[in-house]
Structure 1
Amino acid sequence: MTKRWALVAVAGVLAVAGCSSDLPEESSGSGTPSSDTRKSEFFDQAEYDRQLAFRNATPQGPEGRPWEQMLEPQMVDTAKFAKPGGGYTLCFSNAAVDNPWRQVGFKTMQEEVKLHPEITDFVVLDAEAKDDKQISDIQSLTGRKCSAIIISPNTTATLTPAVEQACATGVPVIVFDRGVNTDCPVTFIHPIGGFAFGANGAEFLKERVKPGGKILALRILPGVDVLEQRWAAANEIFGGTELDVVGVEFTDGDAAKTKSIVADYIQREGKIDGVWMDAGATAVAAVEAFQDAGVDVPAIVGEDQQDFLRIWVDEGLNAVAPTYPTYQWRTPVIAAVKILKGEQVPKEWVLPQPRITGDTVREYVKQDMPPLHYAMCGCEGMPGYPGPWK
């Protein structure tokens, strides 16, 4: 299969601001039910099948270190990039640190850098979720003496030319989290992807909600590939059931707006039997809307941030948490060091993407961590934990 290097990564809650440059020509409007079964322009049957199959694949790599594991890797030679002796200047163009998921991830990356004495300088430019700034940032980094450049693109299509220009300098480029429409980077690092995330939540609701049950789908923003993939997968699964998707609403990732939307649907529909979400940062607000209305919290899809995991356990919720693990922020640093040592890396480095279920949720609750700390940070064994993440 020819792989398209597209956005498959974001979010715990992802950085979803500043993505208008990659918006589709038409996006589904607020309150649009999925019962029309029209496939999203982001639905790719082959990639959907691939991602769902990856969920059952056995990863290669060290046990207990999923940020170093890989699924069905095709290794590439990196001997031409070898720079023996260390003294590396590692450069990073970051899309943003504008939400807790990215903040936890970036802190984890900074701590990973400290584990590699070969890296003597870590240069970071924050694009502040702006395409134009990131294009300028990447151009700036190509003019510095970077040993390798890591890029987490703000959007897919708009950043592709800038990534290609960086590749043309001969400096090894590593893309992670979100992708671009070129295969010029040495490696592209990401968890399984948006289709897997969306399917995990939809399959849970298909199992837990009776036929005819009313589903409310809560999304963040249109036009972000990974979020569109999540909804496309869920829509595909819901379309093959008797579940009634009564609304598809955009929350902008705002807790107050989420709570208001859910309250409106409870009043309008009388009962909501399940809530699907494309990112879980406002899942607690959704839960609170049901509690405030004095009705039972239905089956709900959240994510691995601590506030949701805690309320899940405390209230005995019927829930699942697909994840977009923040431990992926460790992998680009590890990959950069391997490349600069001339060691092979996967052309596409696909990381495991676990989900949290009712059987495992208690393992991930950390009462001493901030409410929006993400459980899949892979940081518990790092020096100084938990200090830097508090």
Structure 2
Amino acid sequence: MRPPRALFVGAAALSLTLTACTTDLPDDEAGESPSPDEQDWFDQEEYEEQLAQRDIEPEGDPDEPWLQAIDPEYVDTSEFALEGADAEEPTVCFSNASVSNPWRVTGWITMQQQVEALQEEGEIGEFRVSDAADDDNQQISDIQAFVDSGDCAAIIISPSTTATLTPAVEEACESGAPVIVFDRGVETDCMVTFIHPIGGYAYGADAAEFLVDELEPGSRVLALRILPGVDVLEHRWAAAQRIFDDSELELIGHEFTEGDGAQIKDIVTQELQSGEVDGIWMDAGDGAVAGLEAFEDQGRPYPVIAGEDELSFLREWQENDITAIAPVYSNFQWRTPVLAATQILNGEEVPEEWVLPQEPIREDELDEYLDLNSDMPSLHYAKFGGEDLPGFPEAWQDR
């Protein structure tokens, strides 16, 4: 099988490895962040909109959720349509924040397989990729290199952080090439389309509401977060705070973990040594199993927990009959940006804000998703949406 024609740009990309690792948090960002209100992370209107969008039926084929859209408003892209020789296998450039956690690894594999399919169809030629390894300065440099090259028919960006990457995204927009932002947002609307699942508020609310429903009043809940400064993560926590504040649960604190399993286990162990932990809320669940191991080591009953759709957690949930939910930040979104690029370069309308469906996995769906992904490795994400792509299942198994 021919691999996608991908040219990696920058030193960080040369060391890119498709294995699970933790998100690196710069030393100067460690520790507790100011509240969402102080950072202007919370927006009441957006919060209410996202919670309402959970109940809206998306437009499009449910068998292709990566092409569905919730309440889309379409924009004319005819100005970006390529003609003649320019339309023959155009170069598409992708600036990636990182592949520093299992969710991003799974998505990156899916994106590569989607690119391969589009290359076979002649919709995309060279696929140039830079990986910033979660370094804002590196990603700013990567985007500048794409702009300076003048070779990119379209530029896809998954930002490392929100505010810091905004000027770089705006500069990419000024280059004249259509810009597609996905996954994490920036503080500009200059891009042609911003692609994302419903969002962090919906994710955080799904998890917090489940804990409120399943736990008795007065139960003690520990919140585990990855890092500050990323909009989707800040929104998850902002939503959870408001739901917990209106509940009778006791929030015993929130800790930044850098997504590191050993750190997660250590934090939970310390909390268990000082008192009961009845529930765990996480803003990303790839370290959920490490947290559960702390309960196992001390012979304590499992907590009610909100993890994520990573298979290691789903399998632990099933095996031990844990009371749990798996909120989802739809991993299949990694297909959408390259499909959007081809649509834009063909002059087709796309949603200005492309909101994808985002449905958590609940207990009654657990067995189904584990059966569908029975041959996948533990660090794979159940809702990756790549079953119809070339390389399935081997590309995701051989990570």
Same-fold status (TM-score > 0.5): yes
1:126 is matched with which residue: 128, 131, 156?
A: 131
Is residue 2:75 matched to residue 1:76? yes
**Deviation for aligned residue 1:152:** 0.7
Residues in 2 aligned to 1:76 and 1:91: alpha-carbon distance in whole angstroms? 22
The residue number in structure 1 matching 2:331 is 326
Is residue 2:142 matched to residue 1:140? no
Mean Cα displacement is larger for which, 182-191 or 365-374? 365-374
Higher RCO (CA 8 Å, separation ≥ 6 residues): 1
* Contact 2:32 2:256 survives alignment (8 Å): no
User: 3-state DSSP class of the match of 1:247?
Assistant: strand
**What TM-score does the superposition give when structure 2 sets the normalisation length?**
0.88
The residue number in structure 1 matching 2:357 is 352
- Corresponding letter in the other structure for 1:17: D
2:92 is matched with which residue: 90, 93, 111?
A: 90
Mean Cα displacement is larger for which, 314-323 or 96-105? 96-105
Mean Cα displacement is larger for which, 139-148 or 204-213? 139-148
Is residue 2:307 matched to residue 1:302? yes
The residue number in structure 2 matching 1:251 is 257
* Contact 1:220 1:252 survives alignment (8 Å): yes
Q: Among the aligned pairs, what percent are the same residue? A: 54
Residues in 2 aligned to 1:71 and 1:178: alpha-carbon distance in whole angstroms? 18
* Contact 2:184 2:230 survives alignment (8 Å): no
**Deviation for aligned residue 1:163:** 1.0
Residues in 1 aligned to 2:79 and 2:90: alpha-carbon distance in whole angstroms? 16
* Contact 1:93 1:125 survives alignment (8 Å): yes
2:192 is matched with which residue: 173, 176, 186?
A: 186
- Alpha carbons of structure 1 residues 28 and 295: separation in structure 2 relative to 1, 3 Å: farther
Residues in 2 aligned to 1:39 and 1:161: alpha-carbon distance in whole angstroms? 22
**Deviation for aligned residue 1:63:** 2.2
Mean Cα displacement is larger for which, 51-60 or 137-146? 137-146
Matched residues, number: 369
Question: Any unmatched runs of 5+ in structure 2?
Answer: 1-19
Q: 1 or 2, which has the higher helix percentage?
A: 2
The residue number in structure 1 matching 2:41 is 42
* Contact 1:215 1:273 survives alignment (8 Å): yes
- Alpha carbons of structure 1 residues 213 and 18: separation in structure 2 relative to 1, 3 Å: closer
**Deviation for aligned residue 1:39:** 8.0
- Corresponding letter in the other structure for 1:369: M
Provide runs of 4+ in structure 1 moved above 3 Å: 13-21, 23-26, 37-41
**Deviation for aligned residue 1:105:** 0.7
Deviations 1:41-74 (A, max 9, x none): 4221111101100100110011211100001001
Residues in 2 aligned to 1:142 and 1:40: alpha-carbon distance in whole angstroms? 31
**Deviation for aligned residue 1:25:** 11
Residues in 2 aligned to 1:278 and 1:357: alpha-carbon distance in whole angstroms? 17
* Contact 1:73 1:349 survives alignment (8 Å): yes
- Alpha carbons of structure 1 residues 39 and 234: separation in structure 2 relative to 1, 3 Å: farther
- Alpha carbons of structure 1 residues 290 and 40: separation in structure 2 relative to 1, 3 Å: farther
- Corresponding letter in the other structure for 1:389: W
* Contact 1:18 1:154 survives alignment (8 Å): no
Is residue 2:314 matched to residue 1:312? no
Residues in 1 aligned to 2:27 and 2:53: alpha-carbon distance in whole angstroms? 30
Residues in 2 aligned to 1:28 and 1:212: alpha-carbon distance in whole angstroms? 26
Residues in 2 aligned to 1:19 and 1:181: alpha-carbon distance in whole angstroms? 22
**Deviation for aligned residue 1:257:** 1.4
- Alpha carbons of structure 1 residues 159 and 143: separation in structure 2 relative to 1, 3 Å: same
* Contact 2:80 2:344 survives alignment (8 Å): yes
**Deviation for aligned residue 1:364:** 1.4
**What TM-score does the superposition give when structure 1 sets the normalisation length?**
0.90
Residues in 1 aligned to 2:82 and 2:139: alpha-carbon distance in whole angstroms? 27
* Contact 2:144 2:168 survives alignment (8 Å): yes
The residue number in structure 1 matching 2:346 is 341
Is residue 2:220 matched to residue 1:218? no
- Corresponding letter in the other structure for 1:245: L
- Alpha carbons of structure 1 residues 113 and 329: separation in structure 2 relative to 1, 3 Å: same
- Alpha carbons of structure 1 residues 319 and 265: separation in structure 2 relative to 1, 3 Å: same
* Contact 1:39 1:232 survives alignment (8 Å): no
What is the CA RMSD across the aligned residues, in angstroms? 2.1
Question: Any unmatched runs of 5+ in structure 1?
Answer: 1-12, 30-36
Residues in 2 aligned to 1:51 and 1:249: alpha-carbon distance in whole angstroms? 25
User: 3-state DSSP class of the match of 1:159?
Assistant: helix
- Alpha carbons of structure 1 residues 112 and 77: separation in structure 2 relative to 1, 3 Å: same
1:227 is matched with which residue: 229, 233, 249?
A: 233
* Contact 2:328 2:361 survives alignment (8 Å): yes
User: 3-state DSSP class of the match of 1:275?
Assistant: strand
Is residue 2:60 matched to residue 1:61? yes
The residue number in structure 2 matching 1:6 is none
Residues in 1 aligned to 2:300 and 2:21: alpha-carbon distance in whole angstroms? 30
